[in-house]
Amino acid sequence: QSVLTQPPSVSAAPGQKVTISCSGSSSNIGNKYVSWYQQLPGTAPKLLIFENNKRPSGIPDRFSGSKSGTSATLGITGLQTGDEADYYCGTWDTSLSGWVFGGGTKLTVL
């Protein structure tokens, strides 16, 4: 059971938009920055979003992040088949004194 809660799977058609939620608590998302990671099949995770809504260099603006209270959301617009991957949210938990990740969400582009 992960500290951060994500839906196990989401799906949408190419060109459409999808959002992935990440729910936590006041000891993690509520008081810390959230980051999001994309893990394509058979590869290492890749940072998509940091500090809740900032994109590293090279990440297209089709990817966006937001945070409200103890929840965060990853948005992906203009879906492509190449976006099919597992997506994870992560943050620091002050009660646990460690990083916590969501259980991951598998995105299927139909």
Partner 1 sequence: EVQLLESGGGLVQSGGSLRLSCAASGFTFSNYAMSWVRQAPGKGLEWVSSLRGSGTSAFYTDSVKGRFTISRDNSKNTLYLQMNSLRAEDTALYYCAKGNSSSGMDVWGQGTTVTVSS
Our finding on whether 35 is near partner 1 (CB under 8 A) is: yes
For the segment 65-104, give every residue that binds partner 1 (CB under 8 A): 86, 88, 90-92, 96-104
Please give the distance of CA 106 from its chain centroid, rounded to a whole number.
11
- In the complex with partner 1, which residue's Cβ is closer, 73 or 78? 73
Contact present, 3 and 28 (Cβ < 8 Å): yes
Options 47, 60, 95, 110; binder of partner 1; rule CB under 8 A: 47
What does the block give as tokens for 64?
Answer: 């966006």
3-state secondary structure 42-60: CCCCEEEEECCCECCCCCC
Residues making contact with partner 1 (CB under 8 A) = 2, 32-33, 35, 37, 39, 44-47, 49-51, 56, 86, 88, 90-92, 96-104
